[in-house]
Structure 1
Amino acid sequence: MFYHENGLQYEVEVEEPNPQFAKMLQQAIGGAEGEMRVALQYMFQSFAVPSEMSEYKTLLMETAVEELGHIEMLATAVAKNLEGASPEAREAAREDAVIDEMMRSGQPRQALSAGMHAMPVDSNGVPFTGNYVVASGNLAADMYANVMAESTGRTLATRLYEFTDDPGMEDMLEYLIARDTMHQNQWHSVLDSFDDHLPVPASFPQEKENQDYNYTFMSTMREEREDPGQPWTTGPSHDGKSEYSYTSEQPDGGPPSVEKVIDEMYNEVN
Structure 2
Amino acid sequence: MYFHVQQLINEIEQDEPDPAAANALQEGLGGQFGEMRTMMQYLFQSMNFRGPSAKPYKDLIQGIGTEEISHVELIGTTISRLLDGSPRYQGKPTDPVDAPGAKGAIPLNIALSESNIHHYLVGAQGAMPVDAAGNPWLGSYVYNSGNLVLDLLYNLMLESTGRLQKCRLYEMTDNKTARSTISYLIVRDQAHENAYAKALETLGVNWRTSLPIPKTNAEKFPEVARLLEMGLQSKQYSFDLTNLSEAGRIFQGMSPSNDGTKLDASEQAPVGVPMTIAPERFEEFSPGADTELQELIEATAAMEMADIERTFGEMS
TM over 0.5: yes
Question: In the alignment, what sits opposite 2:59?
Answer: 58
Question: In the alignment, what sits opposite 2:132?
Answer: 123
Q: Secondary structure of 1:28's match? A: helix
| CA distance in 2: counterparts of 1:190 and 1:142, whole angstroms | 11
| CA distance in 2: counterparts of 1:70 and 1:136, whole angstroms | 24
Question: In the alignment, what sits opposite 1:23?
Answer: 23
1:17-69 deviations in whole A, cap 9, x for unaligned? 11111111111111011001011111111123222211111111110011111
Contact 1:14 1:169 in 2 (8 A): no
1:124-164 deviations in whole A, cap 9, x for unaligned? 11110011111100010011101110111001111110011
**Once the 2 structures are TM-superposed, how far is the Cα of residue 193 of structure 1 from its aligned partner?**
0.7
1:166-215 deviations in whole A, cap 9, x for unaligned? 2232222111100011111111110111158xxxxxxxxxxxxxxxxxxx
Choose which of 118, 137, 142 in structure 2 pairs with 1:133.
142
Choose which of 116, 122, 125 in structure 2 pairs with 1:113.
122
Choose which of 194, 207, 212 in structure 1 pairs with 2:203.
194
Contact 2:149 2:200 in 1 (8 A): yes
Question: In the alignment, what sits opposite 2:171?
Answer: 162
Question: In the alignment, what sits opposite 1:34?
Answer: 34
Contact 1:14 1:81 in 2 (8 A): no
1:95 counterpart = 2:96: no
Question: In the alignment, what sits opposite 1:80?
Answer: 81
| CA distance in 2: counterparts of 1:122 and 1:14, whole angstroms | 24
Contact 2:46 2:58 in 1 (8 A): yes
Q: Secondary structure of 1:141's match? A: helix
Contact 1:19 1:85 in 2 (8 A): no
- Bigger shift: residues 48-57 or 3-12: 48-57
Percent identical among aligned pairs is: 36
Letter of the 2:26 counterpart:
Q
Contact 1:14 1:77 in 2 (8 A): no
Letter of the 1:80 counterpart:
R
Contact 2:82 2:177 in 1 (8 A): no
**Once the 2 structures are TM-superposed, how far is the Cα of residue 94 of structure 1 from its aligned partner?**
5.8
1:89-131 deviations in whole A, cap 9, x for unaligned? xxxx96243x211221211111222211111111111110011
**Once the 2 structures are TM-superposed, how far is the Cα of residue 13 of structure 1 from its aligned partner?**
2.6
Q: Secondary structure of 2:8's match? A: coil
Length-normalised TM-score, structure 1: 0.67
Q: Secondary structure of 1:105's match? A: coil
**Once the 2 structures are TM-superposed, how far is the Cα of residue 12 of structure 1 from its aligned partner?**
1.4
| CA distance in 2: counterparts of 1:102 and 1:73, whole angstroms | 23
Length-normalised TM-score, structure 2: 0.57
| CA distance in 2: counterparts of 1:116 and 1:171, whole angstroms | 20
Q: When the two structures are aligned, how many residues end up with a matched partner?
A: 190
Choose which of 177, 192, 209 in structure 1 pairs with 2:186.
177
| CA distance in 2: counterparts of 1:94 and 1:65, whole angstroms | 48
C-alpha spacing 1:86/1:145, structure 2 compared with 1 (3 Å): same
Contact 2:38 2:68 in 1 (8 A): yes
| CA distance in 1: counterparts of 2:109 and 2:14, whole angstroms | 20
Question: In the alignment, what sits opposite 2:71?
Answer: 70
Name segments (4+ residues, structure 1) moved above 3 Å: none
The structure having more radius of gyration, on CA atoms, is: 1
C-alpha spacing 1:51/1:95, structure 2 compared with 1 (3 Å): farther
- 5+ residue gaps, structure 2: 89-102, 206-316
